[in-house]
């Protein structure tokens, strides 16, 4: 009986230790000093300092991106590209804003700096309705709106990270009159604020398509799988 209780307590302690490790990495991401957040190398080195393996490195990097970078709805809003704003090439670390390709490329760059191999940016589509999945899965008639996210492989296990879907904040025009000048002013304002957003959607760190469909009825579908 005592041995059984001992193993139960040991199991609970192991779970608490794992949770504490996750919380430590989240706190490091949330509390990263502003002065390291403007340079990819210094930021990455700061974030991964307490990490003991590649998975933890990707975790803390994804959390920083999702909690500090806003999605730029001036460029892409309500399923439509705003051409007059889309061509503006901003600095995602300076302005703390970007679109899916910016999020995915930043994650790949930081993973490379952290010396985590087998991480890359992938492109495709996200289907958000089961009816669309049944109709368009493995079909040439895909939606025209593309998306970018990341693929990682650690110890032979492949999984996906979508820091765009993890992020909860948006830089949005207050009306449909989204001028290029207003766009740049709002990005400058956003970059100066250096806010931390705690509404991170952790479900989009380490997912595979089958899990995604079951939990969220969405599906990330890569270009290479589209016939």
Digit-coded pLDDT (tens) for 64-115: 999 999 999 988 876 677 777 877 888 999 999 999 999 999 999 999 999 9
Nearest to 226 by CA among 144, 137, 143: 137
Hey, CA dihedral for 77, 81, 85, 91, is it positive or negative? positive
pLDDT tens profile 155-196: 999 999 999 999 989 898 877 767 888 898 898 989 888 889
**3-state SS string for 41-77:** HHHHHHHCCCCCCHHHHHHHHHHHHHHHCEEECCCEE
Q: Where are the domains of the chain?
A: 2-225
- Cβ neighbours, 10 Å, residue 200: 23
**Residue linked to tokens 């460029």:** 75
Prediction pTM value:
0.82
Q: Report the C-alpha gap between 25 and 63 in whole angstroms.
A: 8
Mind giving me the DSSP string for 71-101? EETTTEETTEE-HHHHT----HHHHSEE-HH
CATH of domain 2-225: 3.10.620
């Amino acid at each position: 009986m005592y041995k059984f209780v001992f193993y139960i307590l040991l199991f609970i302690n192991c779970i608490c230790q794992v949770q504490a490790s996750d919380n430590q990495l989240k706190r490091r991401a949330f509390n990263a000093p502003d002065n390291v957040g403007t340079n990819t190398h210094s930021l990455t080195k700061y974030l991964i300092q307490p990490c003991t393996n590649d998975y933890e490195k990707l975790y803390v990097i994804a959390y920083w991106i999702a909690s500090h970078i806003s999605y730029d709805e001036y460029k892409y809003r309500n399923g439509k590209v705003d051409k007059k704003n889309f061509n503006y090439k901003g600095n995602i670390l300076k302005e703390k804003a970007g679109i899916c390709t910016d999020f995915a490329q930043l994650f790949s760059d930081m993973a490379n700096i952290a010396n985590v191999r087998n991480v890359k940016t992938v492109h495709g589509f996200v289907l958000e309705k089961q009816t669309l999945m049944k109709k368009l899965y493995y079909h040439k008639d895909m939606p025209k709106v593309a998306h970018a996210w990341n693929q990682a492989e650690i110890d032979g296990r492949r999984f996906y990270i979508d820091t765009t879907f993890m992020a909860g904040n948006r830089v949005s025009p207050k009306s449909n009159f989204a001028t290029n000048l207003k766009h740049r002013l709002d990005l400058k304002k956003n970059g100066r604020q250096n806010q931390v957003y705690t509404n991170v959607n952790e479900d989009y760190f380490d997912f595979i398509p089958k899990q995604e469909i079951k939990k969220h009825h969405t599906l990330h579908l890569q270009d290479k799988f589209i016939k």
